Amino acid sequence: MKSRRLFPVLLLALAGAALVAGCSGLRLGYQQADVILEWRANTYFDLDRDQRRDFSARLDRLLAWHRYEQLPEYATFLTAAIDKAEHGLKTQDIAWFVDGFRARYKIIVNRGVADAAEVLSTLAPEQITALQKQFAKDNKKFADEHELESGVEKRKRARLKKSINQIEDWAGRLTREQEHKVAALLEPIPLIEHLRYEDRMRRQREFVEFLKTRQAKAAFAARLQLWLLEWDRGRTPEYDQLSAEVYAKRLNFYVAVDKLLTREQRTHALDRLQKFADDCRALSTRAPAHGQADDAALAAILALILSAADRA
């Protein structure tokens, strides 16, 4: 998912931020989900008071459903992932995890798309302009992070830095030797971020274009659901082919990285995954809290959500 997708996707990003980026504050983040997701929606659409009230009510219902019906299943899924990873990763294990994540994303979209369409149908023209401005900021950030205006070597260094950060989020600090081996493993994988960038902008243009049909609610909701679920629809053949190649090579890359880790690093990663599973179980049996998170923790969680939304 390279473009933003209102609250079904924002909720997935909250869970995905913890799973993909390794956030240790899943309970804190989930307890503050209403605050975080309302902040994200307002950032993109500059909602007025009535829209914020409507969004909040719909979001509360989605979060209650997600907490009590989805989180227990997430805990089961994560426990199964731990069982698969304990004796060393295989490519089919990673593919299974990615497929599981995508399936859970689809469940959230199907549950929340009608409410999302209702909120989007109330947008005024100036709010769509605000959305386009935020898209432009996001795209500049993406281009800067991936060094898209630079030469191949700088782009490779940016990719390596991002990959090492992701690995260290899970496994802890890598040695210099491990970093060199990760760099060697990444080298055969083609650069694809320039095509991701072009495709995310295509998706954004597509979204803004079909927002013009938002008053025809039934047709708009159906189109929104399709756009949310089939994000590879409309890709160029070049991007589609390269995506498949990069995905296959990335599976092998992570299997090879797993073999580079020490016993302590693998234990660190598995323990963190176990904490996520435990948090999912605990959250699913507890009534939501309504306190405010401290500013530092909330800022960290918001940063992770932004990161997950770009990677999902």
Tell whether 195 is covered by a domain. yes
pLDDT band at residue 221 under the 50/70/90 scheme? very high
The yes-or-no verdict on residue 219 having pLDDT over 70 is yes
- 8, 231, 237, 271, 272 from 5: Cα distances, Å: 7, 11, 24, 32, 28
pLDDT tens across 223-259, in order? 999 998 888 899 999 999 999 999 999 999 999 999 9
pLDDT of residue 33: 54
pLDDT tens across 39-90, in order? 677 788 888 999 989 988 888 888 888 888 988 998 999 999 999 998 888 9
Tell whether 285 is covered by a domain. yes
**pTM (whole model) above 0.85:** no
- For the chain, how many structural domains are there in total? 1
Domain residues for 39?
6-311
CA 198 to chain centre: 19
Whether residue 157 contacts residue 182, with contact meaning beta carbons closer than 8 Å, is answered with no
- 63, 171, 194 from 161: Cα distances, Å: 35, 15, 17
pLDDT tens across 181-205, in order? 999 999 999 999 999 999 999 999 9
Which ranges constitute the DSSP H helices of 212-262? 217-229, 237-260
User: How far is 49 from 33, CA to CA, in rounded Å?
Assistant: 19
Tell whether 235 is covered by a domain. yes
Spatial CB neighbours of 39, under 8 Å, sequence gap ≥ 6? 302
Tell whether 98 is covered by a domain. yes
- 1, 29, 121, 150, 249 from 308: Cα distances, Å: 9, 13, 26, 24, 21
Of 98-112, 164-178, 296-310, least confident by mean pLDDT is: 296-310
Tell whether 1 is covered by a domain. no
Tokens of 15: 């869970």
pLDDT of residue 11: 39
User: How far is 138 from 183, CA to CA, in rounded Å?
Assistant: 27
- 8, 105, 297, 308 from 108: Cα distances, Å: 6, 5, 25, 16
Other Cβ atoms less than 10 A from the Cβ of 133: the count is 12
Radius of gyration of the chain (CA): 20
